[in-house]
Amino acid sequence: MTVLIVTGTSTDVGKTVVTAALAAAARAAGRSVAVCKPAQTGVLPGEPGDLAEVRRLGGVTRTLELARYPDPLAPDTAARRCGSPLLTLAETAAGVESLADADLTLVEGAGGLLVRMGDFTLLDLAQKMNAPVLVVAAAGLGTLNHSELTTRALAAAGVRCAGLVVGSWPVAPDLASICNRDDLPAVTGVDLVGSIPEGAGRWAPERFAESAPGWFAPAWSQRYLTV
């Protein structure tokens, strides 16, 4: 089973669109893809969540959501507020393993790497599953600090970082964004392996799927998405 975990340096950095782009790129290479979102917050029962966007943009038909909480909070806090049991590391790992017949299973976290998902963090899940973690970062001011903190936490835990992706590259990048494109690999020691155009999540699915393979470095895609 090939598992790639997608985390962010914070919330709202573009994890869902990146996950959809990864799925679209892998599917374009002929691989079957499944996507797991362990915990979805801020969405009521019956409402479309992040996996609906992954299905729409990435063309994935096999998805798994393990828990859903109505308040837009960290999953463990949201679970306690609505009286739901906390999601566990064991049941989450079992859920991911249930998708093992797919060529590639993507796991999208909630918020950043150390957000409590239940009795665990995404870092704990990566350790348990021996899976690499792709870090989605912002383009502008603050991203160097957030990205280095995240990649240092991965390194300290002995978890392989699969690379950095800018979740939304501006149509008109400012000076900070332009400088960060060079500085991110320098300060983190991790390659910048892709960037998603600003607003790509609003594109028609056909345009998104056709463009997605070009958003990632070819050598990286060959290693993680096509083999």
Task: Point out the residues that are catalytic.
Answer: 37
Assign residue 14 a region: left if phi > 0, alpha if psi is -120 to 50, beta otherwise? left
CA distance 26 to 4: 12
Closest by CA to 96, choosing from 51, 49, 38, 154, is: 38
CA distance 99 to 54: 16
Amino acid at residue number 86: L
CA distance 31 to 54: 16
CA distance 75 to 88: 11
Report the length, in residues, of the chain: 227
Quickly tell me which residue has 């609003």 as its tokens. 202
Look up residue 202 and give its DSSP letter.
G
Q: What angle do CA 157, 160, 165 make, to 5 degrees?
A: 115
Contact 125, 89 (CB under 8 A): yes
